[in-house]
Structure 1
Amino acid sequence: MQRRALLALSLSLPWIGHAARAQPAAILPVVASFSILGDMARQIGGDAVSVHVIAGPDVDAHSFQPRPSDAQALRGARLLVRNGLGFDAWVDRLARSAGYAGPVATATEGLAPRTMRAASGHGHGHAHDHGHGGQEAADPHAWQDLRHGRHYAGVIAEALAVADPARAEDYRARGAAYQARLAALDAWVRAEIAAVPEARRKVVTSHDAFGYFAAAYGVRFLAPQGISTEAEPSAAQVARLIRTLKAEKITAVFLENMANPATLRRLAAEAGVTVRGRLYADALSPPGGPAPDYEAMFRHNVGLLVPAMRGAD
């Protein structure tokens, strides 16, 4: 009788039944400086996180100007994910102006960066400046080596675990699974590039964003522009690159999704070569595009690079 009375009471006061159940953990609000980091945070965080990306798909993060809505998102965040190495220094200024005092995960922390010196405009191996007036500077595009991408994933997984201890093991498990996928993708990239004769592994792109890819996978990249997209290449740099294109019979010439195409189109026309498509370097594509996530970006880029380097139509 007493048990039936208690059951009737709980049914008549439904909030008592709800209160007795365990409440689901709140979604963790995360802010990422640009699209590649935002994708990684979503891959590792899953349904447990909401990610606000400041510099979104097809957006040049080199000289980005945040919006008031970005500051508002940062004020409500419990984790900020940034690249570091000078790539997204504007996000540090945004965090200060927004009064954000929470944890910051720097994806490149612990990596030994490639250094670049302002110089000749020849591309990889003849490095460019990142706005430091001829001084040596770190190349920030470390995600272009999938081994570094795995490092990024480890940093982000641990940062999520610290920011949200109740789900720490879930984040670490998802991070480990994601790293395993990136390791398999890295092996695929190496096998694809190995099918191209070494002498043919030469590519021209809009700006020098592929230095880490070049070093990791044995491809020589040349660019009329430096590792930053802020400065236009000089006429002398363009002319020198045209001579190189002709002399070395380079057939792999590509635009990038967030770079001004005018310089490269002019260069290709003067050198008598065809622009072979659009690579994704510093930003992902929108969801319906060919590179909506980090893994798809590598598959898309390599899928264009390999036939172009081999000279296939």
Structure 2
Amino acid sequence: MPRQLIPHACRTLSFLCVAALTFVLSACGNADAESAASDDRPLVLTTFTVLSDMAENVAGGHLEVKSITKVGAEIHGYEPTPGDIKKASKADLILDNGLNLEVWFSQFLDGLKVPHVVVSAGIDELSITEDAYAGKPNPHAWMSPLNVQIYVENMITAFSALDPQHAGDYRANGDEYKQKLQSIQDELVKELAMLPMNQRALVTCEGAFSYLARDAGLSEKYIWAVNAEQQATPAQIVSAIEYVKANKVPAVFCESTISDAPMRQVVEASGTSFGGTLYVDSLSEANGPVPTYLDLIRHDSAVIIKALTGKNS
């Protein structure tokens, strides 16, 4: 082949390769766009991942459910992004926990004409009794499987109003989910019933387990009421030490999102055991220890039962 023809052939081959690649990428892009456009399910947003997982169980695929905050996000003081607001403007329904959990939520809704439902509506509220938040409702109502059954009922009602065509499915899905929740609740109560009354105590870093403790027949003690600064005062630590000693509490716990150093001081000074890490505000990634709410509440129940009774649940 003449040497002067080689560059021309290379340019021709390069052009054909680029053209082919452009066609493939364009086809993929069109396929993605068509796929996105074909999802005409109503969009339901939740304020955090725990609610999103519950909602998906009730929706059963009939609704597109997404969480505004991501796995591991600090829900109490979250700062919404412009992208969050844009996403919310396209939603058909937004679900929030209420009880002053999402302090940012009322401002988030300003200017958005999107209906929202407070899924904790109807629970028997408990109040925070200490510190700057005394008198305000304890927001961690989802930590009781009994309360979550009320959450589920509120979701069934909201989803049925949004999408009446699948109301029967929402009811069936919700009832099945509630049975699983009741089973976890029954196991927790049964296993803890063997403990002496003074040892039926849940001692944690933050007061995030008030509802679980109440509904499982446990007394509750925590180092601080609300996880605001993740710090404990000497007086708070001493109070926890004295409580553990007086009641001969077998084990104490701390939450996954905060340092357990203060509780380790309680362990060292009182002679009790560190029972393990509990999960509250966020699910884990899919390959983590608590990818769903049922996994979360089962994990916490199993850790509490094992540490307090010495038995595996």
Per the normalisation by structure 1, the TM-score is 0.80
Letter in 1 for 2:274: V
Equivalent residues in 2 for 1:265-304 (5 A)?
265-304=264-303
- Report the Cα distance in structure 2 between the residues aligned to 1:138 and 1:207, rounded to whole angstroms: 15
Query: What is the deviation of 1:182?
Result: 1.8
Q: Which residue of 2 aligns with 1:49?
A: 63
Q: Which residue of 1 aligns with 2:97?
A: 83
Partner of 1:224, secondary structure, is strand
Partner of 2:223, secondary structure, is coil
Per the normalisation by structure 2, the TM-score is 0.80
Q: State whether residues 257 and 283 of structure 1, in contact with CA within 8 Å, keep that contact through their aligned partners in structure 2.
A: no
Structure 1 residues without counterparts, runs of 5 or longer:
1-23, 119-128
Partner of 1:51, secondary structure, is strand
Q: State whether residues 103 and 163 of structure 1, in contact with CA within 8 Å, keep that contact through their aligned partners in structure 2.
A: no
Q: State whether residues 244 and 270 of structure 2, in contact with CA within 8 Å, keep that contact through their aligned partners in structure 1.
A: yes
Letter in 2 for 1:45: A
Following TM superposition, where does structure 1 have runs of at least 4 consecutive aligned residues deviating by more than 6 angstroms? Answer: none
Query: What is the deviation of 1:269?
Result: 3.3
Equivalent residues in 2 for 1:33-182 (5 A)?
33-96=47-110, 99-118=111-130, 129=131, 131-132=132-133, 134=134, 136-182=135-181
Closer, same or farther in 2 for the Cα pair 1:163/1:73, shift >3 Å? same
- Report the Cα distance in structure 1 between the residues aligned to 2:124 and 2:97, rounded to whole angstroms: 13
Q: State whether residues 198 and 247 of structure 2, in contact with CA within 8 Å, keep that contact through their aligned partners in structure 1.
A: no
Higher relative contact order (CA 8 A, sep 6+): 1
Aligned residues: 276
Letter in 2 for 1:42: E
- Report the Cα distance in structure 2 between the residues aligned to 1:58 and 1:25, rounded to whole angstroms: 28
Letter in 1 for 2:309: R
Closer, same or farther in 2 for the Cα pair 1:29/1:111, shift >3 Å? same
Q: Which residue of 2 aligns with 1:203?
A: 202
Partner of 2:45, secondary structure, is strand
- Report the Cα distance in structure 1 between the residues aligned to 2:264 and 2:83, rounded to whole angstroms: 36
Letter in 1 for 2:60: G
Taking only the aligned residue pairs, the percentage that are identical comes to: 28
Structure 2 residues without counterparts, runs of 5 or longer:
1-37
Q: Which residue of 1 aligns with 2:252?
A: 253
Query: What is the deviation of 1:85?
Result: 0.9
